[in-house]
Amino acid sequence: MKKIFLLLYSLLLIISCHEKDLKKEIKKTRTPNSFAIVIHGGAGGIKREYFTEEQQKAYAEKLQEALNAGYLVLEKGGISLDAIQATINVMEDSPLFNAGKGAVYNSEAAQEMDASIMDGQTLNSGAVAGVNHIKNPILAARVVMDSSSHVMLSGKGAEIMAAKYGIEMVDSSYFFTEKRMNQLKKIQGKEQTQLDHTAFLIKNELIDDHKYGTVGAVAIDKNGNIAAGTSTGGMTNKKYGRIGDSPIIGAGTYANNLTCGISSTGSGEYFIRTVAAHEVSNLIQYKKVSPSEALHEVLFNQIGKLGGEGGMILLDKNGDVYWDFNSTGMFRGYKKSNGDTKIEMFEKTN
């Protein structure tokens, strides 16, 4: 009799827990016709003392402009892919960020830009790498996705295809900024004069100079479809032909309606080695961990332990926004259809 009682009690307990889980899932369901967008402008040695009030204002205003551009697309019933493009275009056109107009210089004093975009509904994706004359690389990535049977095109091939489909091409002089050139000279000067001495200081200078600026966005539209995109100029003084995580689907960018959309920024080699964006999605889908736990696991216990630094933004299938970073700061912000909006740049507040 005692065994029967314990068995019945166990069954009731299991049923009760199951009902609680179902109620929990119901609470997490996305509000019909809701939409949201989250963006980043890079992560790294971003400390308040490094920026004047005027500079902080400039970054905040540009981040807000980028958010508004994508939000407007979503508000009018547009698809998440178009919202991603509109948002990233704003940041690519600004010299404030390491993408498009503000792209950093490689070791040969030239810019090589990368970008990718992904559709969470179909898992279709497109990317370009090592391009020099495409004004807005994110647009070229979309062309690769929509108008070819490939996922990634690089260099000359990517530029030929972009021009064929009417993407604006520019002379390399368009991307010149004195700030980025000075960063290159500063780093190359240190390499020559302090090659073996104060290596630790040089490493930290590099973090401050070039490990932030990559831009990215994730959006969910009124139909519940998620899209993600990332665009970058890479690393200052990078070797000619180096490709980071930004154009690599699953590393720097990933979107899947079953879980979430993600855009990454930071030391790309480590995001590639951990397949970071896809790893976060897998943890959510198969381990059933929360988005915040998944981000922390990948950034701190995987990337961080290898010596990597950076951050990630995430928007899940319910329209909830998350972000995390193991660096000192990350330019970031979001805007949701329920009126909730935020822009942050420095230490974590949530």
| pLDDT value at residue 20 | 46
Tokens encoding 328: 């000192």
Supply the pLDDT for residue 24.
44
**pLDDT score of 161 more than 80:** yes
Q: For 52-92, how does the pLDDT look when each residue is reduced to its tens digit (9 = 90+)?
A: 999 999 999 999 999 999 999 999 999 999 999 999 999 99
Confidence band for 350, pLDDT divided at 50, 70 and 90: low
User: 105, 93 in Cβ contact below 8 A?
Assistant: no
Amino acid letter, residue 197 = H
SS (H, E, C) 186-224: HHHHHHHHCCCCCHHHHHHHHHHHHCCCCEEEEEECCCC
Place 188 in a pLDDT band, splitting at 50, 70 and 90.
confident
> pLDDT for 105-129, tens place per residue?
988 888 999 999 999 999 999 999 9
Cα torsion at 150, 261, 97, 142 (round to 10°)? Answer: 30
Residue 174 has pLDDT above 70, yes or no: yes
3-state secondary structure of 97: coil
Distance of CA 75 to the CA centre of its chain: 22
The answer to whether residue 236 is catalytic is: no
Going along the chain, which residue ranges are E strands? Answer: 36-44, 113-119, 125-131, 152-154, 215-220, 226-232, 253-256, 260-266, 310-316, 321-325, 329-336, 341-344
Q: Residue 31 and residue 317: Cα distance in Å, rounded?
A: 11
| 35, 337 contact by CB (below 8 A) | yes
- Of 214, 236, 259, 265, the active-site residue reads 214
pLDDT single digits (tens) 313-337:
999 999 999 999 999 999 999 999 9
pTM of structure: 0.87
Best-predicted range by mean pLDDT among 3-7, 12-16, 107-111?
Answer: 107-111
**Are 86 and 70 contacting, i.e. CB atoms less than 8 angstroms apart?**
yes
Give the pLDDT of residue 204. 40
User: How far apart are the C-alpha atoms of 305 and 43, rounded to whole Å?
Assistant: 17
Residue 236: is its pLDDT beyond 90? no
Q: How far apart are CA 284 and CA 305, in angstroms?
A: 21
pLDDT > 60? residue 192: no
**Residue extents of the structural domains in the chain:** 41-344
What token pair was written down for 168?
A: 């604006």
Query: What CATH number labels 41-344?
Result: 3.60.20.30
